[in-house]
Amino acid sequence: MESDFIKVTYIDQGNEFDLIVNINDIARLSYGFNQLEFKTPFPNGERNVSITQAEFKRLEKLFLTEVQNEQTKL
């Protein structure tokens, strides 16, 4: 399994932070809530981060393109 990493900007208490994540560790991208959920928890036990609408759209496009590419390989 290939490990691809991306930079994600998330929001915590009104501040924006950058996070480098393995895309294989992303469990869910939640519509409406603009949340990204991970399979592996952070050291504080949390699995979710809030993201901006712009970041949500960027990740959605990235993931949907990746899924389409995987389907064309089959």
pLDDT string in tens for the chain (74-residue length): 467 899 999 999 999 999 999 999 999 999 889 999 999 999 999 999 999 999 999 999 988 887 667 777 76
Question: For the chain, how many structural domains are there in total?
Answer: 1
The dihedral through the CA atoms of 53, 58, 63, 64 has a sign that is: positive
- Separation between Cα atoms, residue 4 and residue 43, nearest integer Å: 22
**Domain enclosing residue 37, as ranges:** 5-73
Q: pTM for the complete prediction?
A: 0.77
Given this model, what pLDDT does residue 6 score? 94
Q: Are 49 and 12 in contact (CB under 8 A)?
A: yes
Given this model, what pLDDT does residue 2 score? 64
Q: Are 24 and 4 in contact (CB under 8 A)?
A: yes
Given this model, what pLDDT does residue 74 score? 66
Neighbour count for residue 51 (Cβ, 10 Å): 23
Neighbour count for residue 68 (Cβ, 10 Å): 9
Given this model, what pLDDT does residue 1 score? 44
Given this model, what pLDDT does residue 30 score? 94
